[in-house]
Structure 1
Amino acid sequence: MNTNRTGKAVIVIGHINHDRIWHLTEPLRAGGRITWRSREARLGGGGYFTARRLLDFGHHVRILSNLMSDSHGQEAIAALAEDGFDTSLITQRQGETDFADILLDPTGERTILSNERRLARTFALAQPVSADAFYINGPHLCETIRQSLNAAPLVVSQLPLRDGEPRPADVIVGSKADMPGKSIEAIWRDAQAIAGTRLRHLVMTDGPDPTSVFDGETESSIPVPMHVTVRDTIGAGDTFSGALINGLLNGAKITEAALDASRSTAEWLLNREAMFAEKSNK
């Protein structure tokens, strides 16, 4: 991890999940009897992975999220603080932690089983806050958060997939896999309905295929500079968002930031795969 703390102040608004990952021995199939070889529990979620990458780049990261008040939530807050995150904006709520079960097949394809109550969690903020950049990964925002975003110099938001409420954003990030058959122009209209007139760029990843950067008129195709094959791609898209924000904070053009984010995410996947292989061989 980069221990340099001279970076920018970034507030990440998103969920911190407790993921229970089941490593399957074969792909899922209807009516099948599937075996698994191992399972593990670890922190995850869109907010966590993006915040983690920004921290790795040396930025001061405050996480605006919520965790339950049980032992799992308490342990998560302690672990985040020990890693170097500012946890002062995390709300603790009464109740038990809901784990998200992630079924991971040998090809890296994942299936996520998530309690609908957990998806409906909202983010609380008592008074407006400021930062050099904000990142949002969640559909529901309170008015105090929107006030904070209005005053921020840079706002990047994940494109909500379900009933996303409006929020001012300069850049919207998404995945073409989540919107099969939809044109970039149609996705831009969806993004503009969320971000309003402040929207400058739409960035859509497409797995191993080129990333599209669209400004409402011109589409730039950004090639993937490094193709990797790994067994675990969980968090790759969120890690891409963190690297993209890092590039923008460093003054890169959006196309340059997207190219570097793609390369950086591939390297992150390879490093994590190597760490998992080392652990399994011990």
Structure 2
Amino acid sequence: MDADATARLLCVGDIDMDLIVRVPAPPSRDGKVDGRRIAQTPGGMAANVAVAARRLGTRTRLLGAVGDDALGREALAALTSEGLDLSHVATRHGEATFFCVILVDDEGEKSLVKVMSPAFLPRADEIMAAAFAGVAHVHLTVARADPGLAVAAMARAAGATLSLDLEAADLPADLPQGGGALADLLASVDLLFVSDRSRAAVEPVLGPLTSEGRAVITTRGRQGAMLERSGTRTQIPGHRVPVTDTSGAGDAFAGAFLSAMLDGADDATALCRANAAAALSTRAYGAQAGAPTAAEMAAFLDVDGVRDA
């Protein structure tokens, strides 16, 4: 990204490297399967969303952390080549970079093992006002009070809107009824991304996710997506495409939706573009490899017989 260009979108959260292994099916408990190493590629939800939005032309900044190891250097090199603003990515000396082992089965569906590290998320002292300067929107990929509440406060002070990707798998097992501190974070969110599976898992604990002033997007894989806002509902069907790897499809969706939103698109148009980006992202192994450019997405929508709403 040009040094004098101000980012419009800030993505806050995880950066990692993914080791992708092809298996016929995930092993059962105490089971064993033969696998084939496919690739070692950059990933992390925040990084994936940032790459997806940047490829569609949105100036994007990333706030996160990596270790000072070979994996960290590889991740930063890949993200630099995408033209992202990485001036607020911390390199943690003496710490390992967060990475994931992703098992992709014969249908392209994934199972994932997160190999945790202290460098998984930015620390409170790394969340500085300078990272929020000039951005119109902040996207948070971790539903934890720390650092979530600090990010929400910084976004509000900067006059930026805030979105959150809510995944049931990332929530603590002892989450109290009603959400506790997570409820405080949700109260600050303008736009919530959640899959249908995660929504079914978290609403019995958190209560209804729809709230006055907050839009909720529920992704449904091949069934498309739904956006609920102020009592209205917008639904867009999905695309039937050959699937290689579903890793990062939800992040490609979020990046494309936010890019369209920042360009002034209405809900239906933004959902249409997001669905197309998610479908195209499954064509290649890796969470970022398949994220489309604007030209690729426009061609796909034209060939698939779908026009922007």
Aligned to 1:279: none
Which of 253, 271, 276 pairs up with 1:258? 271
Aligned to 1:280: none
TM-score, normalized by length of structure 1? 0.81
Cα deviations across residues 111-157 of structure 1 (Å, max 9, x unaligned)? 11113546963442133522022111012326653233113343222
Residue 231 in 1 paired to residue 254 in 2? no
Conserved 8 A contact 1:22-1:103: yes
Conserved 8 A contact 1:137-1:158: yes
Conserved 8 A contact 1:26-1:35: no
Percent of residue pairs bearing the same amino acid type: 22
Question: Structure 2: how far apart are the matches of 1:46 and 1:54?
Answer: 12
Question: Structure 1: how far apart are the matches of 2:284 and 2:119?
Answer: 30
Structure 2: 5+ residue runs without aligned partners?
173-181, 291-309
Question: Structure 2: how far apart are the matches of 1:187 and 1:247?
Answer: 29
Structure 1: 5+ residue runs without aligned partners?
277-282
Q: For residues 11-160 of structure 1, what are the structure 2 equivalents within 5 Å? A: 11-94=10-93, 95-117=95-117, 121-123=121-123, 124-128=126-130, 129-130=132-133, 131-139=135-143, 140-141=146-147, 144-150=150-156, 151-160=158-167
Question: Structure 1: how far apart are the matches of 2:233 and 2:44?
Answer: 30
Amino acid at match of 1:207: G
Aligned to 1:174: 194
Question: Structure 1: how far apart are the matches of 2:22 and 2:107?
Answer: 10
Conserved 8 A contact 1:127-1:144: no
Question: Structure 2: how far apart are the matches of 1:182 and 1:88?
Answer: 35
TM-score, normalized by length of structure 2? 0.74
| Larger RCO of the pair (alpha carbons < 8 Å, separation 6+) | 2
SS in structure 2 opposite 1:89? strand
- Residues 108 and 119 of structure 1: CA distance in aligned 2, closer, same or farther (over 3 Å): farther
Amino acid at match of 1:229: P
Question: Structure 1: how far apart are the matches of 2:141 and 2:209?
Answer: 16
- Residues 134 and 188 of structure 1: CA distance in aligned 2, closer, same or farther (over 3 Å): farther
Question: Structure 2: how far apart are the matches of 1:242 and 1:120?
Answer: 20
The CA RMSD over aligned residues, in Å, is 3.2
The alpha carbon displacement at 1:20 in A equals 1.0
- Residues 270 and 187 of structure 1: CA distance in aligned 2, closer, same or farther (over 3 Å): farther
Conserved 8 A contact 2:167-2:195: no
